[in-house]
Amino acid sequence: MADAWVIEPSGPLRGEVEVRGSKNAVTKHMVAAVLGEGPSTITNVPEVGDVDITAGILTAIGASVERHGASLTVAPPTDVSPAVPLRFSGLNRIPVLLLGPLLHLTGEAFVPRVGGDQLGSRPIDFHVELLRSLGAEVEVTPEGIEARCKRLQGAIVELPYPSVGATESALLSAAMAEGTTVIRNSATEPEVLELALFLQRMGALIEFRPDRRIVIEGVPRLRGARTRLQGDRNEAFSYLVAGLLTKGQVKVVGCAQDRLVTAMTTLMRMGASVTVDDVAMTASAPNGLRAAAVQTDVHPGFMTDWQTPIMVLFTQAEGMSVLHETVYEDRFVYVPALQKMGGEIELFSTCLGGSACRFHETSYVHSAVVRGVSTLRGAEVEIPDVRAGFSSVIAAAAADGPSVLRGVQHLERGYHRPADQLRSLGLDLKTR
């Protein structure tokens, strides 16, 4: 991995990018694969650091992981270790999702504390209470989480918030539990459905009901399966915005239209010309862009991961734009870098641009007002996380003067070969 990227603005970004499956999908499929009685194969796998981290975690508990290009095969462990080693503490969010599978395989589990991007608190209480509802004894220690159970039992689980991670944990834990589990107030993001479909191919009995309910009838065993990941909707949107921001046009291949409905409509409302067919999508703005008000939300709302590229795009839209983040309380860690690069952005703790959210009347800074059109300038910035990193990259591509971006390992952890993809679009990007 490179230590830093040096970006010299080189005009409009143009060309074609093919997106692979998302890091958020592939890693969860890898966890599900350890529950099968035979190997599972996942295709259209991105080359991202999180896959390597997850492969290391699974190998440590006794599974085997083999990769051949864009294909990944996971063979379940024959001699299972019930503990994920402490060396994986804080690297990503995968260990907590292994609690249920390890309980199925061994009756006990230990996982170290979770990690991931700096988005605010990542409470583990949803996962802990879920397992307790299914009959496990769970203890949270300073080092991680310990759990024990002879066999998980089906139960009615009410999630306090439609958390993607907690819903995925419930699917993985309930698939082989004894009896029926009902998950109320579940997340319905495409990645959640994708995981459920993979588990169904493995033999799980899963139904999606109205009102955010998922019903799972536990089965005694699952088999290995094969699946192809759907295109990463966040990467697709990020590259579309990169083209718009630099007054160019990027053709994105490999992501279905139904995964970007809200995002595409947002760009159209801002004045972008959008073209979509069964293979690809493009967006251009020959007449410029206008301001907009956007509120992030759980699916099918505007995805929280989309707010980092749209924030940069707001700096090049005529007028005052508003962004209201309702999913994570500390998602604006990347804004100081954009301000340093000339973005005129003010942050507020009040709910702006939409209805009052769960952060209403708190001290969490979760709304932004952006004035455009701003002249962006090159700067030296530190990238704090995966999604924030891409905002700095595209800002640097549209800036007046060179930029040095440090912390690019975050980008390489979450995007498929980002440096190569950006160079193919004409960006002058050097590593060092």
What pLDDT shows up at residue 115? Answer: 59
* Structure token digits, residue 317: 């839209």
What pLDDT shows up at residue 388? Answer: 76
Q: Are the C-beta atoms of 206 and 234 separated by less than 8 Å?
A: no
Give yes or no for residue 114 having a pLDDT over 80.
Answer: no
What pLDDT shows up at residue 329? Answer: 87
Query: 23-228: what CATH class?
Result: alpha beta
What pLDDT shows up at residue 123? Answer: 63
Q: What SS3 class is residue 54?
A: helix
Arithmetic mean of pLDDT, 240-252: 96
- Of 279, 272, 277, 223, the residue nearest 245 (C-alpha): 272
What pLDDT shows up at residue 2? Answer: 72
Per domain, the residue ranges of the chain are: 4-19+232-431, 23-228
Alpha carbon distance, N-terminus to C-terminus of the chain: 9
The pLDDT tens digits for 101-112 are: 999 999 999 999
Arithmetic mean of pLDDT, 27-50: 96
Give yes or no for residue 18 having a pLDDT over 90.
Answer: yes
Question: Distance (Å, rounded) from C-alpha 34 to C-alpha 80?
Answer: 10
Q: In the chain, what percentage of residues exceed pLDDT 70? A: 97
Give yes or no for residue 220 having a pLDDT over 80.
Answer: yes
Residue 197 contacts by C-beta under 8 Å, 6 or more apart in sequence? 227
- Strands, DSSP E only, in 350-411? 367-372, 380-382, 403-406
The H-assigned helical ranges of 291-430 are 307-314, 335-340, 386-397, 409-414, 418-424
* Structure token digits, residue 324: 């209201």
The conformational region for residue 120 under phi > 0 = left, psi -120 to 50 = alpha, else beta, is left
Arithmetic mean of pLDDT, 126-152: 94
3-state secondary structure 110-148: EEECCCCCCCCCCCCHHHHHHHHHCCCEEEECCCEEEEE
- Of 209, 267, 265, 241, the residue nearest 391 (C-alpha): 241
Q: In the chain, what percentage of residues exceed pLDDT 90? A: 87
117 labelled catalytic: yes
Burial 15-44 (b: 16+ CB within 10 A, else e): bebbbbbbbbbbbbbbbbbbbbeebbbbbb
The catalytic residue among 3, 52, 79, 117 is 117
CATH topology of domain 4-19+232-431: UDP-n-acetylglucosamine1-carboxyvinyl-transferase; Chain (3.65.10)
* Structure token digits, residue 27: 């890693």
Q: Is 23-228 the same fold as 4-19+232-431?
A: yes
Q: Are the C-beta atoms of 6 and 399 separated by less than 8 Å?
A: no
